[in-house]
Chain A
Amino acid sequence: MKDDMNKICEKCNKFPAEVKLIIYEAGKKKVLNLCKLCAEEESLGVSSSAASPPVPKKEAPLLKPEEDLVCANCGYKLSEFLKISKFKCEKCYEAFEPNTMKIISEYHKAEEHRGKIYTGAYTENKEFKLKVLRRALDEAIRREEYERAARLRDLINEVEGKNDA
């Protein structure tokens, strides 16, 4: 997987290569590692000049080591993100600011979220709670962490007890 992730599109040399496109040219098989946009253009036979969607074609900024940022939550670096355009965890978004919003607004042509607002999980789904606790209990027993197992068992009894009441 690591190998795939480091490849850069062979056509535009800018975006990460995510698609393997097989083309038959003059009876010969040719494999191209392309980014999503170039792959679309190739597979549709559309030339890039004719119909490119408006996507930032800026050079990925080369970071000096002192300009690099690190996500405190997962240790992922901005320089690594710029290579493959994938975040590692939810905290990377804030950690890489002001770069994050710049990248998002360049691609989406917008600067604020206008969709659904999520207010968090709210249901007291006992069955789910019990399933998660029981799985954790199995895990604790498997690892011979008996103190933890005992605590989990208490919790399970508590949740089940509430069930009876």
Chain B
Amino acid sequence: MKWRERMMPERFKWMSEKIPFWLRFISPLYGDIVLSVRIRLARNLKGHTFPLFLDDEKRIRVFNLIKDALTSIKELQSLKIYEITELEEIEKEFLLERHLISKDLLKDGRGRGVCIDMEEKISIMINEEDHLRIQVFYPGFMFEEAFMKIMEIDELIGSTIEYSFNKKYGFLTSCPTNVGTGFRVSCLLHLPASVITGKIQDIINYSFSQDITVRGYYGEGSEVLGNIFQFASLRTFGKSEEDILSNFKTTVYKIMDMEREERENLMKDSKELLEDRISRTIGILKNAKFLTSREVMEYTSHLRMGAGLNLIDINIEKLNEVMLLNQPAHIQILFGKRMEEKERDKFRGILIRSRLNLS
């Protein structure tokens, strides 16, 4: 051995071994299209400078204040709080892959952190762009549940520490694009047929017309992987939270129906081609020695659509699991071993064959 492998951190082992709530339940009607719904609220504390302008000392002070508040709220006591500087690189990547934190939270300096519940329904980022970014994650058809949950958490926190609020502007945020409600709802949608037929351009145009923006798999500025797009409400001011949610929901259901229609068209015109693609995919997954994460996203997309069209008997829940677990930091934490890219690609193949019963 050239070097001794450093010990793998164990902190998130418990998390890596289970599938988050939002991926565990599949919508009976749209499970092959919608993956998840996320709602977030941006909040700041009254009388404190916004995080971007705080030095380490003051940022730590705000962090401690929020930590004290969260840990003294009875209903939130099962949540775990981590300061980012206490985490190792691989753990930060792990949380990013899990959508629980954003890249902005990983900026240099102390006093930034995240608060997570065991089921991963809740993630509260502390001192990202705003003092608080409260987020909830639910399966793609549970809009109302997600909404009720986040409003409940907001009430609990807002009744304990004083938020920055002004009748004219609403909740005050560092960036004027979040002011007012600080409310943003988003969905991950799987739209392979629309990508094949080119309908996706119409969908994007339609979304923009409905004040909804389209992003990649990891959110803002990221690329589209495995035909999965993130749709997110754009405006936060001048509308109530309920109205933003209901407009978003209507639009998303319309988009899902558009995708459904494209799939039916494909089935009419090129069923054999779709079948061929699925068989090839299975062939590759069964036999490939090395698989990249990008390939897995692509192949699970083929299988997911195939399952939705009854062209293949495969469990969508299993596909969700594989999509999550095959990511670089996940693979390493799961196998308890630091690995270079090539080795990861090899273990990825092993993981997929065993999880999808493809040997």
Contacts and interface: CB of A to CB of B under 8 A. Distances in A.
A85 to B, nearest CB: 6
A125 B160 contact: yes
Contacts of A63: none
Nearest to A112: B238
B168 A86 contact: no
A89 B221 contact: no
B181 interface: yes
- Name the interface size band of chain A: 35 or more
A61 interface: no
A46 B222 CA distance: 14
Given A113-B169, A116-B181, A90 B238 contact: no
A159 B76 CA distance: 23
B177 A107 contact: yes
Contact of B170 (A1, A21, A76, A115): A115
Interface in B43-85: 44, 46-50, 52-53, 64-65, 68-69, 71-73
A90 B216 CA distance: 32
Nearest to A81: B176
B201 to A, nearest CB: 7
B239 interface: yes
Contact of B241 (A18, A85, A115): A115
Contacts of B160: 121, 123, 125, 128
Given A88-B50, A125-B72, A132 B170 contact: no
A57 interface: no
Output the residue of A51, A101, A111, A120 with the most chain B CB within 10 A: A51
B65 A132 contact: yes
- Name the interface size band of chain B: 35 or more
Nearest to B164: A90
A122 B170 CA distance: 18
Contacts of A85: 175-177
Nearest to B52: A86
Interface string B177-188: 101110100000
B95 interface: no
Contacts of B159: 121-123
Given A46-B201, A86-B174, A86-B175, A115 B221 contact: no
A142 interface: no
Contacts of A50: 201, 205
B167 interface: yes
B142 interface: no
Nearest to A87: B174
Interface stretch (B3-11, B229-237, B253-261, B268-276): B229-237
Given A110-B237, A120-B162, A104 B71 contact: no
Interface string A83-100: 001111110011000001
Contact of A114 (B46, B52, B239): B239
Interface string A121-160: 1110101100110010000000000000000000000000
A134 to B, nearest CB: 9
B166 interface: yes
A36 interface: yes
Contacts of B221: 18-21, 34, 36, 39-40, 43
A20 B160 CA distance: 37
A157 to B, nearest CB: 19
Interface in A47-87: 50-54, 74, 76, 85-87
A107 B170 contact: no
A46 B235 contact: no
B214 A40 contact: yes
A44 interface: yes
Contacts of A11: none
B240 A115 contact: yes
A123 B76 CA distance: 15
A116 B72 contact: no
Given A86-B50, A90-B172, A118-B171, 15 more contacts: A1-B107, A1-B108, A39-B221, A40-B215, A44-B214, A44-B216, A51-B201, A93-B166, A104-B180, A112-B168, A121-B158, A121-B159, A121-B162, A122-B159, A127-B72
Interface of B: 44, 46-50, 52-53, 64-65, 68-69, 71-73, 107-108, 129, 154, 158-177, 179-181, 183, 201, 204-205, 208, 211, 213-216, 220-224, 234-241, 243
Interchain residue pairs A-B with the least CB separation, the first 6: A110-B238, A19-B221, A113-B170, A115-B181, A108-B237, A127-B72
